[in-house]
Amino acid sequence: MSTVKLTVNGKSVSATVEDRTLLVHLLRENLNLTGTHVGCDTSQCGACIVHIDGKAVKSCTTLVGQIDGANVTTIEGIAKGDQLHPMQAAFRDNHGLQCGYCTPGMIMSAIDIVNRHASDLDEETVRHELEGNICRCTGYHNIVKSVLDAAGRMKVAQAAE
Partner 1 sequence: MGVEGIGARVARKEDKRFITGRGRYVDDVKVIGLTHAHFIRSPHAHAKVKGIDASAAKDMPGVVDVLTAQQLVDDKIGNLICGWAVSSKDGTPMKMGAWPAMAPDTVRFVGQAVAVVIAETKNQAKDAAEAVVVEYEELPAVSSMTTALAKSAPQLHPEAPGNVVYDWAIGDEKQTNDAFSKAANVVSLDLTNNRLVPNAMEPRAAVAEYDEAEEHFTLHTTSQNPHVARLVLSAFYNVAQEHKLRVIAPDVGGGFGSKIFIYPEEMVALWASKKVRRPVKWTGDRTEAFLTDAHGRDHMSHAEMAFDANNRILGLRVKTHANFGAYMSLFSSSVPTYLYATLLSGQYNIPTIYAEVMGVYTNTTPVDAYRGAGRPEASYLVERLMETSARQLKVDPAELRRINFVTQFPHQTPVIMAYDIGDFGASLDAALKAIDYSGFPARKAKAKAAGKLRGLGFSCYIEACGIAPSKAVGSLGAGVGLWESAEVRVNPVGTIEVLTGSHSHGQGHETTFAQLVAGRLGISVDQVQIVHGDTDKVQFGMGTYGSRSAAVGMSAIFKAMEKVEAKAKKIAAHLLEASEGDIVIENGEFKVAGTDKAIALPMVALAAYTAHNLPDGMEPGLKEGAFYDPTNFTFPAGAYICEVEIDPGTGKTDIVDFVAVDDFGRLINPMIVEGQVHGGLAQGIGQAMLESAVYDDNGQPVTASFMDYAMPRADDVPSFRVSHTTTLCPGNPLGVKGCGEAGAIGSSPAVINAITDALGHNKIEMPATPGRVWEALQLRQAAE
Binding site for partner 1 (CB under 8 A): 18, 20, 28, 32-42, 44-45, 47, 74-76, 79, 84, 88, 91-93, 95, 97-104, 107, 123-124, 126-128, 130-131, 133-144
**Minimal distance in Å, beta carbon 64 to partner 1?**
13
**Min CB(16)–partner 1 separation in Å:** 15
Taking the least distance from each CB to partner 1, the nearer of 70 and 109 is 109
How far apart, in Å, are the Cα atoms of 4 and each of 23, 35, 108, 128, 131? Answer: 11, 22, 23, 35, 31
Of residues 40 and 118, the one with the C-beta less far from partner 1: 40
Nearest distance from residue 105's CB to partner 1, in Å? 9
Return d(Cα 47, Cα 3) in angstroms, integer: 26
Nearer to partner 1, 12 or 42 (CB): 42
Q: Would you say 63 or 84 has its CB closer to partner 1?
A: 84
Q: Hey, which residues does 6 pair with through a beta bridge?
A: 13
CA 62 to chain centre: 14
Give which of 157, 30, 39, 5 is closest to 109, Cα–Cα. 39
Minimum CB distance to partner 1, residue 56 (Å): 15
Give the Cα separation of 68 and 89 in Å (integer).
Answer: 32
- Closest separation between CB of residue 128 and partner 1, Å? 5
Nearest to partner 1 of 95, 116 (CB atom)? 95
Over the range 120-141, which residues count as b (16 or more CB within 10 Å of their CB) and which as e?
ebeeeebeebbeebbbeebebe
